[in-house]
Structures are given as structure tokens and as C-alpha cells.
Amino acid sequence: IGLISEIFPTWGVIMAFIAMVVPAFAITFVGLSVIAKTKVINATVGWTMFGLWMVSLIGLSFTIPKIAFDFKSEAEYEETQIFDLNANVFHLDINEVGMEEFDLAELNLRGYDGDEIKLVKEFRSFGSSRQDAIVNAKEVEYGVTIADSTIYFDSNISFKSSAKFRFQELDMTLYIPYGQEFTMSDQLRHLLKSYTISSHGYSFYQLEDNRWQFNPSGLDCITCFDESSTNEERSRNYRESYENSFSVRGYYEELDNVDFRELSISGSFEVQIIQSDEFRVVVNGQKEKIENIDITQDGNSLSFSYDSEIRNYRRYQKEAKIIISMPSIRKLELRGASRAYIKGFDEERVTFELYGASEADVDMDAYETTIELSGASKLSISGTGHEMTVYLSAASSLDAYQFRVDDARIEASVASSAKVYVKENLDIDASIASDIKYRGGARVRSNRSKNFD
């Protein structure tokens, strides 16, 4: 309060108060005079109020330019602090220093390819000139202390006794080497910039009781994957999907195909594939549409496509829904903007091939998974596995942050992207135009080529 009052001197506050109150009183008295149809105040009072108002305006004409002059320029200066921590895991915490009503300090966390944990502090302030602004910025203090393997950050800046309040602020960036593990207290959320966590897909409620690290693709929460709760949620969703999957409306045909483990879908279909002990295939939609769908089975492979003789193919797009239950799935091939939803399987090996803007949402477990995406196709997968091999091309994308595997190999080209969760070993062979993000703390071997074929 004392620092802020230095900006607005007492007499200046009084002048501002009079400048605002006198017109308000004048309007009130005029209104009362109109209602009462007589003068409420005499001329002496009126002229006195007018005189006070003019004096206040003259006083403000001196005060406001001075305040504006004191805040004319903005400048900043930096300090760098190096932390010598010999710890496999260090902790970040808050040291409360008061001034909770002001948020004048913020912290950003960033990973980098280095060996030292370093803090860059950027102090900013206003002043009558850049030099004066730098002097004002240096009139604040900020404490960072180390106890054992914990770094304590003051909750806010503090002002020296000689300081003048010029909206001083502190913007900090803590640079953490790739692969260095750390933990954070829940109270750190009051200091952290929100995008430090949210831009990597996490929330502040995950800060405490989790271990974190940075890798070249971003922030990685090593322990955020709650397998028990995820399995419970997956089981519940699977039961609901199975119960609702065959509740069809309108015309449908049920097929007698059995003993298939591979599926090939070509055309714009919506496909729902559920694990069950029995085979069941239902095609739902308008009768004339279903009659023009070719359904063939070759050994253990079941295929769906629109009749090649249909001239107006677009009339049949996004019209038919295919519902399939089967004990096991070995391969799924999608073409022609199909959309598939797969749930409940636990396989030794499985292959997904998506082409031509097809999309699939998969929730299953598989020891060995092979994924091939091309032509702007998209695959989202959750569950667990041991080994995953991925081939991406032609602007396709894979979201496998929720598919936890031990080892993975990714080949990507032509503006493709992947998000994976790998715990042990990750091999990446990708063109520069591709974007590969990873979590899980895996050992990474990367070959970034410059070819775009």
C-alpha cells in the first residue's frame, strides 16, 4: 500500500476525488431541482462547488503528466543462477513470503540439451527512461534457496526499503537437462505459468506425487499413467459398448459369416468391432444401400465394399453401419474414409492398416502391434503392449500416448506425426517434416533424415 501511494500522492488522490464527486453532486442537485420544481442549493454553494472542481482539474493537470512520465519507458535485465545438485531426482517447492494479493513472479519450466540446472531471471519495470526502469527493476529482490535436493522458490518478489513501485515483475525460466527427473509440490501451481503444464497435455492436479522429466519432444510425466484406474474404466466402457452395440434402429441384415480373424473395409462405412466369444455380423442402414454392398469371405478374411457398378458412389457414403463381434482379431484394413471403433481384445499379434483418410479408435491390449498409416489417415489407440512397429506417410497421424509399450520403432515421412508412450527402447527414423513426440522415459535412438519421399 505504501509503495502504491507513492505513485498517487495524497493531494493527488484528493484532487481526483473532488473531480469525480463534484459533477456527481451537480447532476444530483439538478435532478432534485427538476423534481421539486425549485432550487435545491443556492448560487453561493453552486459557485463554490464549481471552484473546487476547477481547482481539482488544475491539480490533476500537474499530477497525471508526472505519473505518465514516471512510467514512460520499460526495460528489463537478466540474472542467471546455476544449481549444483548431485541427485537423481530433485524437488521443486515454494517458500511463502506473503503479498498474495499480487502475482508479480512467474516460473516456466523448459528442457534443454545441457548438463546444468540453471535459472534465468528476467526482471522488468517501468521508469522515466530505460536507465531509470533498470534501476527500478533492481530495487526488488527474489530468493531461491537449496536444501538437500529441493529447490525453494519465493512465492513472490519483495521490495527494498528504497524501492519505488513501478509495476516491477519477474519472469523466470528453469532450464532442466533432458532425462533429469524431478518432482513438484502442489503449491508450485501458484508460481508456474499455466501453459508450462497444459501445453503438454497435463493438469495442475497431477503435479504432486508424480515424477517428471523433459525430452526433446516435451514434458513427460513418468508416473501419471494410472494402470489400475485405466483398466477399470476400460472394462466399464467395454461392457457398455457391448451391451449397446447391437441395439440397431431401422433396417438391418444379420450375416452368418464365422471363423474370420481379418477384416478389410473399403468405402465410407462406420464400423464397430467388439470382442466376444461368438461371431456376429450386422449391417445396418437403408435397404437399397445394404443390397449394394459386396460382402465376401476368403478363408479367415472378411471384406466389405460398395458394388463397383454403382455409378453415383457418393449416394452410398456414410450410409451403412457395420457391427461385428468376434473372439479374436489379427488384422484390420481400412480404405476410403472408413471409421472404425475397436474394443475389448487381448491379442498376441495385431496389424492395423489405414489408407485414404480412414480413422480408427482402438482400445485393446496386444503383445506385438504393427501399424501402417498413409493418406491422411488417423489412428488413436489405448491399452498396453510389449512391442510396437509404426510406419507413417502422407500426412497420417498416430495418437498412442495411452498405449503403453516397452519397445517401439517408428518410421515416418511426408509430414506425418506420432505421439507414443514407450518405457524401454524407442527407435525413430523420420524425415524433418515429420513430428514425433514421446513419453515414458525410453532410451531413444533417432535418425532424422532430410528426404521427404
Q: pLDDT (tens digit, 9 = 90+) per residue, 324-359?
A: 999 999 999 999 889 999 999 999 999 999 999 999
Assign 5 a pLDDT band (cuts: 50, 70, 90).
low
Report how far residue 177's alpha carbon sits from residue 265's, in angstroms, rounded to the nearest whole number.
Answer: 46
Report how far residue 291's alpha carbon sits from residue 287's, in angstroms, rounded to the nearest whole number.
Answer: 6
pLDDT in tens, 84-127: 888 899 999 999 988 777 788 999 999 999 999 999 999 999 88
Tell which residue, 119, 183, 127, has the closest CA to residue 154: 119
CB 438 within 8 A of CB 215: yes
CB-based contacts of 452, cutoff 8 Å, min separation 6: 413, 414, 431, 432, 433
Report how far residue 105's alpha carbon sits from residue 102's, in angstroms, rounded to the nearest whole number.
Answer: 9
Q: What percent of the chain has pLDDT over 90?
A: 57
pLDDT (mean) for 400-414: 95
Mean residue pLDDT of the chain comes to 87
**pLDDT of the residue at 449:** 58
pLDDT in tens, 89-100: 999 999 998 877
CB 197 within 8 A of CB 190: no
**pLDDT of the residue at 450:** 44
Helix (H, G, I), strand (E, B) or coil at 65: helix
Beta bridge partners of 343: 274, 363
CB 274 within 8 A of CB 327: no
**pLDDT of the residue at 451:** 39
pLDDT in tens, 283-315: 998 888 888 899 999 999 999 998 865 545 555
pLDDT in tens, 7-27: 666 667 778 888 888 888 888
**pLDDT of the residue at 336:** 86
**pLDDT of the residue at 399:** 97
Tell which residue, 104, 164, 156, has the closest CA to residue 133: 164
CB 181 within 8 A of CB 212: yes
**pLDDT of the residue at 63:** 73
**pLDDT of the residue at 99:** 72
pTM given for the model: 0.74
CB-based contacts of 168, cutoff 8 Å, min separation 6: 104, 123, 124, 125, 136, 137, 139, 140, 157, 159
How many angstroms separate the most distant Cα atoms in the chain? 108
**pLDDT of the residue at 312:** 53
pLDDT in tens, 129-160: 889 899 989 989 999 999 999 999 999 999 88
pLDDT (mean) for 190-217: 90
Asked if the model's pLDDT at residue 230 lies above 70, the reply is no
Assign 215 a pLDDT band (cuts: 50, 70, 90).
very high
Q: Report H helices in 155-248.
A: 194-198, 227-245
- The beta strands (E) that lie in 155-300 are given as 158-159, 169-177, 181-184, 212-215, 218-221, 252-255, 262-266, 270-275, 280-284, 293-298
Assign 52 a pLDDT band (cuts: 50, 70, 90).
confident
**pLDDT of the residue at 159:** 87
For 274, other C-beta atoms within 10 Å of its C-beta total: 21
CB 430 within 8 A of CB 396: no
